[in-house]
Amino acid sequence: MTAGEGARDRDAAGAGPQQRPAIAPVDLGRIHVPTPVMLSPMAGVTNWPFRVICESYGPDGLYVAEMITARALVARNPKALRLCRFAPSEHVRSLQLYGVNPAIVAQAARMVVDGDMADHVDLNFGCPVPKVTRRGGGSALPWKLDLFRELVSQVVSVCSPAGIPVTAKIRIGIDDEHETFREAGHIAQEEGCAAVTLHARTTAQYYGGHSDWDAIGDLVGELDIPVFGNGDIWGADDAMAMMRETGCAGVAIGRGCQGRPWIFADIRHAFAGSGERVNPTLGDVGDVIMRHAGLLTEFFDGDERMAVHDLRKHIAWYLKGFAVGGAARKAFMECETLDQVSREIGRLDPAMTVPERMIDKPRGRVRYAKKVHLPYGWLDTRETTHEQRETLFGDDPMDAGY
């Protein structure tokens, strides 16, 4: 049983009041984070409209932009540049970079520094998606210790003189037989990272099963820099349990906020010692949807169609738990304009609420990797061969397009 499972099982059994975990601000270089809560970068989700909504509910934490492909940024791909935008209201501009070639990622970091594009850079070593891992990227990369060290070192050397802290997002490893998180954590610390975030699953687990909070506790015990825990935080009580059980410096919220940006309000209340929680009516949620739609329209430079298409997945998440019926959900998926979205919202029962039994339940798809896709011979050694580097760097895993 993992630490997270144990905490939730005991809570469900009504084990009475739990000891309050130690919660303190976190300093990442010159960036002071008053409340150690992070919005995890999620591809296709955490653009600035969604970040602004989350931050409006939450504490003064870190709200990280979705993954930016380094090669695309270096090539000044329009979509990459759009994803680098921040709203004027964002307190700390946190940007996540992804790449495999240290030189290319360092070049992207140089663009960030010279263009004053961000206050904080996170490095993606946690993505389990096959199109990334099959070319040695994401959660596959820390297996190659030399490549991981070189990439982290080069980015820190670019960002550090500008006072921009660098952090790293990692997973436990490739699978149960090929763990990487301890070595990766130590290397990140040695090369100057200000913190690490551990998604307590392996690549093979993808987003299925239970995250292993014990691994978070292990990494906390091994490192001197702050460790943020990530995985299976579906509500404020889970966040408190993770802090209590692992001793982590802070929590990172991923799928738990999809369609529920107010989870950050719940965590803010919980960390302040309050039992107050948000359980919005469907009318309240409709207002959030329309606000989100308006912000997305601004994000897409006035293109309502693109905004509404991007909004569709969010609407599915926003409506999760509400008894609105399949016809209503289908109607939203066919919307093309803001007026059509507003019309469908007007047909819902504004007084409806989510049943108590559905609150703080897992969100998003529970998916397992059928197979971990890696470069040929990747697991044979912990170092990259000359041939592997030629293959990886000669044909970058993510080209300049999106």
In whole angstroms, what separates CA 87 from the centre of its chain?
18
pLDDT given for residue 108 in this prediction: 98
Q: What span, in angstroms and rounded, lies between the C-alpha atoms of 261 and 42? A: 14
Q: 351 vs 282, 284, 343, CA distance in Å?
A: 6, 9, 17
- Above 70 in pLDDT, residue 363? no
Q: Rounded CA gap, 32 and 25, in Å?
A: 7
Query: Is there a contact between 147 and 102 (Cβ–Cβ < 8 Å)?
Result: yes
Domain boundaries, the chain: 3-278, 282-358
Superfamily of domain 3-278 in the CATH hierarchy: Aldolase class I (3.20.20.70)
Q: Report pLDDT for 22.
A: 81
Q: Is pLDDT at 3 greater than 60 in this prediction?
A: no
The answer to whether 109 and 158 are in contact (CB under 8 A) is: yes
Is the predicted pLDDT of residue 102 greater than 70, yes or no?
Answer: yes
Task: Answer whether residue 393 shows pLDDT above 90.
Answer: no
Question: Is 291 within 8 Å of 261 (Cβ atoms)?
Answer: no
pLDDT at 59: 80
d(CA 200, CA 203): 10
φ, ψ (nearest 5 deg) of residue 252: -115, 130
Chain CA centroid to CA 268, Å: 18
Q: What is the pLDDT of residue 14?
A: 38
| Residues near 47 by beta carbon (within 8 Å), at least 6 away in sequence | 65, 66, 83, 296, 299
* pLDDT given for residue 166 in this prediction: 98
For the chain, what is the mean pLDDT? 91
**Residue 13: what pLDDT?**
36
Residue in this structure with the two tokens 């850079």, named with its chain if needed: 121
How far apart are alpha carbons 127 and 366 in whole angstroms? 15
pLDDT tens digits, one per residue of 281-313? 999 999 999 999 999 999 999 999 999 999 999
Range with the lowest mean pLDDT among 13-27, 71-85, 299-313?
Answer: 13-27
N- to C-terminal Cα distance for the chain? 40
| DSSP for 233-278, written as a single string | --SHHHHHHHHHHH--SEEEESGGGTT-TTHHHHHHHHHTT-----
- Per-residue confidence (pLDDT) for residue 18, from 0 to 100: 64
pLDDT for 213 beyond 60: yes
What 8-state DSSP symbol labels residue 17?
Answer: P
Predicted TM-score (pTM) of the model is 0.91
Average pLDDT over residues 335-363: 89
Q: What would the pLDDT profile of 245-264 be if each residue is shown by its tens digit? A: 999 999 999 999 999 999 99
Residues present in the chain in total: 402
Q: What is d(CA 388, CA 391) in angstroms, rounded to the nearest whole number? A: 5
Q: Which of 32-36, 128-132, 153-157, 361-365 has the lowest mean pLDDT?
A: 361-365
Residue listed under structure tokens 């109607």: 331
The residue that leads in pLDDT, 73 or 207, is 73
More confident residue, 19 or 261: 261
**Lowest mean pLDDT segment, chosen from 19-33, 283-297, 384-398:** 384-398
For the annotated catalytic residues, the residue numbers are 127
The burial of 122, by beta-carbon neighbours within 10 Å (0-12 exposed, 13-18 middle, 19 or more buried), is given as buried
Mean pLDDT of 64-88: 95
Mean pLDDT, to the nearest integer, of 235-239? 96
Name the residue type at position 185: G
Q: What is residue 370's predicted lDDT score, i.e. its pLDDT? A: 63
Share of the chain above pLDDT 70, in %: 91
